[in-house]
Amino acid sequence: MTANDKVPIVRMPGWLDNAYYCANWKMTPYLCKTNKPPNTACRSPGSTAAVFIMETIMEHVAKSLNKDQLDVRKLNLYQQGQKTPPGMVLKYCNIRSMVTQLETSAQIASRKQQIAQYNAANRWKKRGISLMPLKFALNWKGSQYNTLINISNGDGSIAIFHGGVNLGQGINIKVAQTCAYELGVPMDIISVKKASTMTNCNSHTTAGSVTSELCCLSVIECCKMLKERMAPVKAKMVNPSWKDLVVQCYNQGVDITARYVTEPTNVSTYTRYNQYGVCCSEVELDVLTGEHQILRVDLLYDAGKSLNPDIDIGQAEGGFVMGLGHFLTERVIYDSTTGENLTSNTWEYHPPMPKDIPIDFRVEFLNNSDNVNGVLGSKSLGEATVPMSISAFLAVKHAIEAARKEISKDIYFTLYGPATVDTVQLNCLTDITNLTYGN
């Protein structure tokens, strides 16, 4: 939840429904001041927490009804044409078919049977599996980016100044690729320059997983201007090279510099489009120590027509692993008297390390997909895969349930995140009476 001087902006309700339809949603957000230190929007401004709340509700319903969690989820999934709480009609919604696809490709039914057999044969090692869907609303509203393209007379080289910040998300590569595609030129004559307030003033923050696609959108608009100006000159030439065309345009006084600012404030609906995904995680738990290992993750994501699959696969993996830290390892502890952060280094604060990454990590993009509301048919990536790591958290919980079943305490319980080893071990409810021969 963020706020300006007067009006609070409540973001969580936009994601609270996740992938589930309910005809009579009632959400009443309240702005509260607590005694806790404030959280940042590092792992998205409310979406991860909202999806976690909804998935916890689905788990609770399934447990209370003694039904399979996946069956309960499937019964409540959105269908095309239904309306979300903010009022968006889902003209495009493929979440049901994606769940079915992953169920088949990941062999969920047979793996559940294998896990049940494993748990019956092992007292102090337990496994759990969880599959969860995702509908992630993406908003362009208010995201303004200033892009400038300069073409140099002589060698025809192209310099791009865009309003985003390259954070490792591959924005510069996507921007250069988009320019090369639109102008029909090779990548090696394009360079992306550093952003500055001289060339890209008033650009919006790089956030929300929208910057890459909106900077690409502004590049497309710049290229349209340049092609329109250069077209009359090109029409009088016979199959000119790019370099010759640039020289001729320059000699005839054609402006070969273009600037464009995205203006998504004009978008009529809050949600530009929805991203859809399905994720299944399987874990193995040591009941006595609380240590757990993610054995396998199957993640299916609808990226539309990805602008760069190599980059986007990395974004999907990175977002998921970032979520693993949030839900499984990264506990922040403050001194109750002074408020000092007692976990300010990696000796006490534990971000995901190589051993925390799934042993078998399978990320796949949906084939033959498109996005008419995106840039060149693409969908964004980054934040959307962070909440999909909830599946790993829930798989750990299912493994704990298997341990509790051994001691006839298999009832619904609340597992608080992050599910660090001590939290997991304590929730297994193992005591000294269980540690005798025959138990």
Positions annotated as catalytic residues are 383
For residue 132, what are the CA distances in angstroms to 44, 54, 114, 357, 385?
A: 19, 11, 20, 19, 12
Write out the H or E segment, with its range, that includes residue 58: helix 47-65
Q: Which residues pair with 362 in a beta bridge?
A: 298
HSE-up of 434 (CA within 13 Å, CB side)?
A: 15
Whether omega before 418 lies within 30 degrees of 0, making that bond cis, reads: yes
Residue 196 corresponds to which tokens in the numbers above?
A: 């500055």
Q: DSSP letters of 102-130?
A: HHHHTTHHHHHHHHHHHHHH-SSEEEEEE
Query: Which residues are CB-contacts of 211 (< 8 A; sequence separation ≥ 6)?
Result: 143, 145, 164, 165, 169, 171, 204
Using alpha carbons only, give the angle 309, 315, 318 rounded to the nearest 5 degrees.
140
Q: What Rg value do the Cα atoms of the chain yield, rounded?
A: 25
- Residue 437's identity, in one-letter code, is Y
